Amino acid sequence: MFLFDSIPWYSWAMWFVVLGALIALNEVTRRWKWAGLAFFVALPVVLTIVVWPHTAGAGSSTGTWFHWVKVYSALAGCLGFMALRYVPRLQRNRWMLMFPAAILALNITEAVVRDFQVSRLQGMHDGVMMVGGAWNVMNGVAGILNILTICGWMGIIVSRDRSKDMVWPDMLWFWIVAYDLWNFAYVYNCVGDHAFYAGAALLISCTIPAFFLKKGAWLQHRAHTLALWMMFTMAVPTFVSSSMFSVDSSHDPAALMTVSALSLAANVAVVVYQVRVIVTRRRHPLREELFTHLRPYREVLEANVPLRAEPAADRSPALAGR
């Protein structure tokens, strides 16, 4: 195969098990506060003390600085989002509304740094095969563009239903697709032998809920599924590296270049479109939401606007007269 070595049927079966488990656990942790506290506070404390020092130490494929930083930054995102969701006064704090964008940018930055680092590596490092090259640099640039196009955090709201989801109306499908392409390319470039699960299954597990289960809450879905996956792989690192279900990358330079080129092209396209919106509609990207004129934005806002919403004129023409 182009991207991976042969994928046996039982690995495909496990891929769907992983996908289903992540989607299901995300639904549980977003719908009930007690589940979120159990999975994102109690469980990590136990794992940090009892499990990870033995399973994610030096020499392990998940024992690098990146994995440790990634798991705790993902957990920080989950807890910060829970604070925003369940503490009403924080929902009116403009500095707190910047937190989701900041933690997202931090997570992307971690991966960008790793991509640039891996560009100079060849062979086995930290238990993972590295094939560094220009594709890492290309995808690192795509990641920087992805950060620069994060917008509309000042319009984040909390849904009025029982799950109290953190909803970001301005984070629309084209940015999510560009992020997915960039993140898959990052995983494929830097931990290619993990990409079948940590790239494809993990990314799809938060994209499906964002498109079909709870629209507008992509970042919350992403934080939950990422934290759950990182905790699992740091506890059971052999699952993706040497179990019967593991799937190796092809490590083909053509495949590496292809996924990075798609990532860069998608993120350049989002930059071009966003600049066009800013110029033609005279929007300020640091003060205003950009995509209030688009139907997907209006649909998300109308489905989740809080009971005590700010004046319609300040948010979207679609809500005028409500």
Q: What is the pLDDT of residues 128-158, one digit of tens each?
A: 788 889 999 999 999 999 999 999 999 999 9
Instruction: Give the residue extent of every domain in the chain.
Output: 10-305
Q: How far is CA 294 from CA 59, 215, 266, 313, 314, in A?
A: 49, 15, 19, 15, 15
Q: Are 195 and 10 in contact (CB under 8 A)?
A: no
With tokens 């109308």, the residue in question is: 302
The better pLDDT of the pair 6, 57 is held by 6
> pLDDT tens digits, residue range 168-178?
999 999 999 99
Q: Is the pLDDT of residue 11 over 80?
A: yes
**How far is Cα 280 from Cα 148, in angstroms, rounded to an integer?**
19
CB of 182 within 8 A of CB of 109?
A: no
The one-letter amino acid at 192: G
Task: Output the pLDDT for position 305.
Answer: 77
Could you give the angle at the alpha carbon of 106 between the alpha carbons of 105 and 108, nearest 5°?
A: 65
20-24, 115-119, 187-191, 244-248, range with greatest mean pLDDT: 20-24
pTM of the full structure = 0.89
Q: How many CB atoms lie within 10 A of CB 247?
A: 23
* H-assigned helices in the chain: 9-31, 33-37, 43-46, 52-55, 65-86, 94-118, 134-148, 173-190, 202-208, 218-235, 238-241, 253-280, 295-304
pLDDT at 39 over 60: yes
CA-CA distance, 151 to 57, in Å (whole number)? 37
Q: What one-letter code names the amino acid at 78?
A: C
Name the pairing type of β-strands 128-131 and 157-158.
unpaired
Neighbour-count burial of 65, counting CB atoms closer than 10 A to its CB (0-12 exposed, 13-18 middle, 19+ buried): exposed
> Alpha carbon 301 to chain centroid distance?
21
Sign of torsion over alpha carbons 27, 182, 292, 311: positive
The average confidence (pLDDT) of the chain is 89
Average pLDDT value for residue range 282-305? 91
- In the predicted model, is pLDDT for residue 315 greater than 90? no
- φ/ψ of residue 158, rounded to 5: -110, 130
- Six-digit token pair at 270? 């989002």
